[in-house]
């Protein structure tokens, strides 16, 4: 008997479904689930696609130092990337810096990393935040590391495409500059999601349960994808897929 | 025989850095001269301005914890998978340090302007980010070559010292970088580069075409010290892995002031643990 799909595996599969037309997918440092989704996309694609896992020394082919990835993004050579935030708000603004006044914060996080550049320049940015609470999904972020949208004359080819959490999947409506709830993960209900979300959002007319991977896809996640993931993310791989 | 370069020891290198210097270091696991940073701490250098290229972690956290740094310019201070950098978080939330928040490619671009000897450089992105609010040295101009195209410009970053750790330096002071090209960028932009190395290569790296392409000229180098395992507890590409157990131990100790001081007594000042 096959062990049922774990939440992490559902999240990997869900991100994979969002990557359908991307020819070069790049994942950043602390991103095991997005990295797994990108590796799954490479396994399942009918055409050759490139996947660059920056957290691994082996799963990318950059030779011009860590700055090369930003130059590639600036030229439009990266199609999909992943960002997160200590806070994410209903307009798709992300905050990686802290809570309270910048000079005298109540809470401080590591910093904005590449977000204030990549969010503008990578066409498809998927926001992934595991913890879905009013603490993380807020009405308005305290600090905008990178804005969800820009004025029409500001050079920008990229931005938020979707937001995935441990409860549900939202798409981002670029015209309305707000999220739209597409699907709820198994066991979640609309009232709880509304209650646990600090911002207002639209609800899709065909709101449904987030689709689960079929047996063959699940086997691929637990097989080839898990094996590749052990290099950059040994702890995550062992926790989810076992030793 | 070293021709143009005298090999110093790591304490001598540390003493070359005066109070108030602007020092640059690469992100965790990519040629971080951790022992040189511990030597800077032992030397008691003050008021350092640290540029994390484009992020920084363990070594910066130690200098902040000791009150040796008053400004950090970077896009993140982090121990990566291990977690947040505890002394950095403590210093920022208590107003003890000036954090010049940035974003990774802005740090690289500032250094590119530095290496080219130009005063500023344009960069995409950033407009509408609060980084623009907190950085009064980042500005928006109109693209002079197009209509209605605002673009951010930022000043050149010119550190006083680039600090790097590598596997090999040759007898002439040429430095083997491997694929860590960011080291060359950082060294080119800086007024001086201090290098710690695992070993000295007997000969001239520039005479071997396979090595030369990955080698930086001694032009940029003003001090060299041989330090085995000089990146520890970071790893060094191809030679030794990161010591994540120690980095985890550091994070646990540094989460309190007392634990941090115990840590530096043992691993920075190298005092024997008190006998119980």
pLDDT digits (tens, 9 = 90+) for B180-211: 899 999 999 999 999 999 999 999 999 999 99
CA diameter of chain B: 73
Residues in B closer than 8 angstroms to A105, CB to CB, are 92-93
Nearest residue to B161 via CA among B56, B20, B31, B65:
B20
Eight-class DSSP state of A213: P
Mean pLDDT, range A226-238, rounded to an integer: 92
Residues in A closer than 8 angstroms to B184, CB to CB, are 65
User: Across the interface, do B123 and A117 touch by the CB < 8 Å criterion?
Assistant: yes
pLDDT at B3: 52
Chain B residue nearest residue A105, CA to CA: B93
CB half-sphere exposure, A6, CA atoms < 13 A? 13
The verdict on residue A77 lying in a domain is yes
DSSP track, A91-116: TS-EE-SEEE-SSSEEEE-S--TTHH
Give the total number of structural domains in chain A. 1
The verdict on residue A143 lying in a domain is no
pLDDT at B273: 64
pLDDT at A64: 86
B38 touches chain A (CB under 8 A): no
Weakest mean pLDDT among A48-62, A72-86, A94-108: A48-62
Interhelix angle for B257-267 vs B58-65, to 10°?
110
* Distance from C-alpha of A56 to C-alpha of B34, rounded to nearest angstrom: 22
Which site among B31, B97, B130, B132 would you substitute to test the A interface, given the most A Cβ atoms closer than 10 Å to its Cβ? B130
Per-residue CA distances from B81 to A235, B61, B91, B245 (Å): 10, 15, 21, 12
- Going by pLDDT thresholds of 50, 70 and 90, the confidence category of residue B275 is low
pLDDT at B18: 98
- Going by pLDDT thresholds of 50, 70 and 90, the confidence category of residue B111 is very high
Distance from CA of B272 to the nearest CA of A (A): 33
CA diameter of chain A: 56
Q: Is the per-residue pLDDT at B142 higher than 80?
A: yes
The verdict on residue A10 lying in a domain is yes
DSSP track, B209-233: HHHHTTEE-GGGEEEEEE-TTTTTT
A152 touches chain B (CB under 8 A): no
Q: What sign has the CA pseudo-torsion A30, B121, B139, B61?
A: positive
* Distance from C-alpha of A160 to C-alpha of A156, rounded to nearest angstrom: 12
pLDDT at B2: 46
* Distance from C-alpha of B213 to C-alpha of B228, rounded to nearest angstrom: 24
Mean pLDDT, range B256-263, rounded to an integer: 97
- Going by pLDDT thresholds of 50, 70 and 90, the confidence category of residue B6 is confident
Residue B39: its H or E element: helix B34-43
* pTM confidence score: 0.95
Residues in B closer than 8 angstroms to A65, CB to CB, are 179-185
pLDDT at B276: 44
Q: In terms of DSSP H, where are the helices of A159-233?
A: 190-195, 215-220, 226-229
Superfamily, domain B7-119+156-267: Glutaconate Coenzyme A-transferase (3.40.1080.10)
Residue A65: its H or E element: none
* Burial bucket for residue B273 (CB in 10 Å: 0-12, 13-18, 19+): exposed
Mean pLDDT, range B90-105, rounded to an integer: 97
Distance from CA of A215 to the nearest CA of B (A): 31
* Distance from C-alpha of B93 to C-alpha of A231, rounded to nearest angstrom: 35
Tens-place pLDDT, residues B15-73: 999 999 999 999 998 999 999 999 999 999 999 999 999 999 999 999 999 999 999 99
Average pLDDT, chain B: 95
* Distance from C-alpha of B33 to C-alpha of B35, rounded to nearest angstrom: 6
Distance from CA of B274 to the nearest CA of A (A): 34
The verdict on residue A14 lying in a domain is yes
Residue A171: its H or E element: strand A168-173
* Burial bucket for residue B147 (CB in 10 Å: 0-12, 13-18, 19+): exposed
Lookup: tokens for A55: 């957290």
Which segments within B124-257 are labelled E, that is strand? 139-142, 150-155, 161-170, 175-176, 192-201, 215-216, 221-226
Chain A residue nearest residue B179, CA to CA: A63
User: Across the interface, do B76 and A65 touch by the CB < 8 Å criterion?
Assistant: no
Per-residue CA distances from B179 to A85, A192, B210, B216, B219 (Å): 30, 49, 13, 11, 19
Q: Is the per-residue pLDDT at A113 higher than 50?
A: yes
Mean pLDDT, range A46-65, rounded to an integer: 90
Residue pointed to by tokens 């043992």:
B266
The verdict on residue A177 lying in a domain is no
Residue B52: its H or E element: strand B48-53
Per-residue CA distances from A55 to A23, A32, A116, B115, B234 (Å): 19, 9, 19, 28, 15
Tens-place pLDDT, residues A122-177: 999 999 999 999 999 999 999 999 999 999 999 999 999 999 999 999 999 999 99
B67 touches chain A (CB under 8 A): no
* Distance from C-alpha of A210 to C-alpha of A63, rounded to nearest angstrom: 39
Chain A residue nearest residue B55, CA to CA: A113
φ, ψ for residue A224, nearest 5 deg: -60, -45
Per-residue CA distances from A231 to A43, A57, A227, B20 (Å): 17, 9, 8, 40
**Domain span holding position A69:** 1-83+213-243
A75 touches chain B (CB under 8 A): no
């Amino acid at each position: 008997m096959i062990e049922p799909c774990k939440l992490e595996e559902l999240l990997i599969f869900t991100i994979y479904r969002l990557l359908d037309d991307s020819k070069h997918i790049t994942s950043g440092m602390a991103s095991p689930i997005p990295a797994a989704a990108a590796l799954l996309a490479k396994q399942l694609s009918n055409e050759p696609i490139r996947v660059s896992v920056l957290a691994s020394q082996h799963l990318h082919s950059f030779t011009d130092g860590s700055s090369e990835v930003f130059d590639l993004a600036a030229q439009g050579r990266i199609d999909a990337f992943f960002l997160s935030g200590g806070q994410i708000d209903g307009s798709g603004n992300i905050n990686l810096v802290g809570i309270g006044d910048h000079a005298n914060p109540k809470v401080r996080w590591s910093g904005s990393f590449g977000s204030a550049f990549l969010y503008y320049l990578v066409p498809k940015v998927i926001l992934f935040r595991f913890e879905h609470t009013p603490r993380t999904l807020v009405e308005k972020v305290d600090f905008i590391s990178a804005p969800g949208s820009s004025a029409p004359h500001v050079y920008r080819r990229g931005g938020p495409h979707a937001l995935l959490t441990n409860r549900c999947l939202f798409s981002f409506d670029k015209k309305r500059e707000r999220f739209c709830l597409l699907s709820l993960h198994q066991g979640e209900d609309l009232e709880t999601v509304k209650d646990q979300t600090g911002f207002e959002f639209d609800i899709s007319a065909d709101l449904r349960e987030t689709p689960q991977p079929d047996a063959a896809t699940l086997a691929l996640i637990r097989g080839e994808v898990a094996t590749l993931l052990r290099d950059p993310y040994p702890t995550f791989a062992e926790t989810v897929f076992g030793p | 025989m070293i021709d143009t370069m005298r090999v110093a020891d790591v304490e001598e290198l540390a003493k070359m850095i005066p109070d108030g210097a602007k020092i640059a270091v690469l992100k965790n696991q990519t040629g971080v001269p951790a022992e040189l940073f511990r030597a800077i701490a032992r030397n008691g250098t003050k008021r350092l301005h640290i540029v994390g290229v484009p992020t920084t972690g363990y070594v910066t956290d130690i200098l902040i914890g000791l009150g040796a740094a008053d400004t950090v310019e970077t896009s993140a201070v982090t121990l990566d998978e291990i977690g947040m950098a505890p002394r950095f978080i403590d210093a920022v939330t208590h107003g003890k340090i000036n954090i010049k928040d940035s974003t990774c490619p802005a740090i690289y671009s500032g250094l590119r302007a530095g290496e080219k000897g130009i005063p500023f450089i344009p960069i995409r992105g950033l407009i509408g980010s609060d980084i623009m609010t907190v950085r009064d040295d980042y500005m928006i101009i109109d693209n002079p070559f197009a209509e209605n195209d605002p673009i951010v410009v930022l000043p050149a970053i010119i550190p006083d010292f680039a600090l790097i750790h590598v596997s090999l330096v040759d007898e002439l002071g040429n430095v083997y970088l491997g694929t860590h090209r960011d080291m060359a960028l950082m060294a080119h932009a800086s007024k001086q580069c201090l290098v710690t190395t695992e070993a000295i290569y007997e000969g001239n790296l520039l005479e071997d075409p396979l090595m030369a392409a990955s080698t930086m000229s001694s032009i940029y180098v003003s001090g060299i010290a041989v330090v085995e395992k000089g990146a520890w507890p970071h790893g060094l590409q191809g030679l030794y892995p990161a010591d994540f157990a120690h980095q985890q131990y550091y994070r646990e100790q540094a989460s309190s002031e007392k634990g941090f001081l115990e840590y530096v007594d043992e691993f920075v000042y190298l005092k024997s643990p008190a006998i119980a």
